[in-house]
């Protein structure tokens, strides 16, 4: 049993490290693409921004978990992870441009309902996306 663990540990570390790196890049790029500054708002205690970013991150992480379990290699996982990231960016763009144009201002003002809506949509789309990523 210990020999299996030691043999599998490098694969775990490679996948986990790659997934965490992709998650950090996703959060960085996502926060640059939104008009409001999530991390600064969260530091100030803005619950709307925290809810929105947490939901968005879960909407990214759920498909990533499915992809990691089904990918054939790290490059395969990273490609599908990039798809998950682009979908989450698209969720915000669709909401902010077409459904609820003032959502960014509302989140900046601390409107928790707006943060819950964006975060919830991110989680929902992430679940749908995860189901579609299973071969």
- C-alpha atoms less than 13 angstroms from C-alpha of 51 in its C-beta half-sphere: 18
pTM above 0.85, yes or no: yes
What is the residue-wise DSSP string for 22-63?
A: HHHHHHHHHHHHSSS-HHHHHHTT-HHHHHHHHHHHHHHHHH
Read off the pLDDT of residues 13-32 as tens digits, 9 standing for 90 and up: 999 999 999 999 999 999 99
**Residue 107 in contact with residue 122, Cβ under 8 Å?**
no
pLDDT in tens, 36-54: 999 999 999 999 999 999 9
At 134 the pLDDT is 76
> Residue length, the chain?
135
How do residues 46-77 score in pLDDT, each as one tens digit?
999 999 999 999 999 999 999 999 999 999 99
- The pLDDT value given to residue 42: 98
The pLDDT of residue 1 is 83
78 Cβ contact partners less than 8 Å away, ≥ 6 residues apart: 18, 22
More confident residue, 36 or 1: 36
Whether 135 has a pLDDT exceeding 80, the answer reads no
pLDDT (tens digit per residue) in 83-121: 999 999 999 999 999 999 999 999 999 999 999 999 999
């Amino acid at each position: 049993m210990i020999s299996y663990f030691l043999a599998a540990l490098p694969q775990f570390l490679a996948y986990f490290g790659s997934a965490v790196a992709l998650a950090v890049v996703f959060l960085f790029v996502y926060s640059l693409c939104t008009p409001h500054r999530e991390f600064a708002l969260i530091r100030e205690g803005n619950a709307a921004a925290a809810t929105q970013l947490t939901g968005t991150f879960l909407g990214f992480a759920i498909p990533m978990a499915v992809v990691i379990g089904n990918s054939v290699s790290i490059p395969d996982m990273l490609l599908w992870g990039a798809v998950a990231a682009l979908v989450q960016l698209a969720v915000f763009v669709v909401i902010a441009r077409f459904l609820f144009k003032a959502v960014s201002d509302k989140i900046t003002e601390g409107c928790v309902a707006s943060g819950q809506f964006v975060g919830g949509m991110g989680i929902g789309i992430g679940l749908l996306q995860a189901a579609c990523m299973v071969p």
